[in-house]
Structure 1
């Protein structure tokens, strides 16, 4: 039997929209799109791509820490980027900085807008806890 473990930040958006930040089903962890927000759910760094990317990766680390997982166990990610042509180099640099030598499967999607005004990046990912940390 597969067990599930749900992770939330207990921020209003989770109950307003009806979602969890992450859910572990068996050995896989599926993580909802992470973005630039603080512990209270307040959106940070409106319009600042580099700062949003840094905070988004920091929020990814919080999810990984909850499950005692590491970046090396991330098997895939999808990045949603507003104005991709302008932000492509920063996206690549941030990805390389975050993962180092680890190379998860990645899809980068250019979008015209995201949920919040002046939100420019969102990243969802899948983690396999069977992989070595």
Structure 2
């Protein structure tokens, strides 16, 4: 029987919307969209794509650290980007910097809006804990 391990950032949105940041079931970790939230769960850096991307990667790292896994074990990701044509180059540069030589399967979607006014990026991903770190 598979065990389930749930992780949360302990921010109000998790209970307000009724979701978990991540769920580990078996060897896979499914991670909800990460974004530019501070420790209190407040959205930060409205309309600043670079700052949001940095904070989003920080949130991703926090999830990875909880499970004791690394970026190299991310097998797929989905990026939701507002104003994709304007932000595509910065998203690509950030992605290359974050992953280095690792290349997870990726989907990038241009969207008209996200949860918070001024939110420009959100990233969800899947981790395979059996891959080498």
Give TM-score, length-normalised by structure 2. Answer: 0.99
- CA positional deviation for 1:39: 1.2
* Distance in 2, Cα, partners of 1:26 & 1:41: 29
Quick one: distance in 2 between partners of 1:9 and 1:88? 28
Q: 1:115 offset after TM fit, Å? A: 0.6
CA distance in 2, matches of 1:11, 1:72: 27
- Deviations, residues 65-97 of structure 1 (Å, cap 9, x unaligned): 000000000000000000000001000000000
Runs of 4+ more than 4 Å apart: none
Q: Which residue of 2 aligns with 1:72?
A: 72
What's the Cα RMSD here?
A: 0.4
Q: What per-residue deviation string (whole Å, max 9, x for no partner) do you get for residues 88-119 of structure 1?
A: 10000000000000000000000000011000
Alignment of structure 1 residues 40-51 onto 2, 5 Å: 40-51=40-51
Cα drift, residue 40 of structure 1 = 1.0
Q: Count residues in correspondence.
A: 133
Structure 1: runs of 5+ lacking an equivalent:
none
What residue in structure 2 maps to residue 30 of structure 1?
30
Map residues 99-114 of structure 1 onto 2, 5 A cutoff: 99-114=99-114
Structure 1 residue 10: Cα displacement: 1.4
Q: Aligned ranges for residues 1-133 of structure 1 at < 5 Å?
A: 1-133=1-133
State the 1:126 CA deviation.
Answer: 0.1
Structure 2 portions without partners, runs of 5+: none
SS where residue 123 of structure 1 aligns? Answer: strand
Task: Give the TM-score, by structure 1 length.
Answer: 0.99
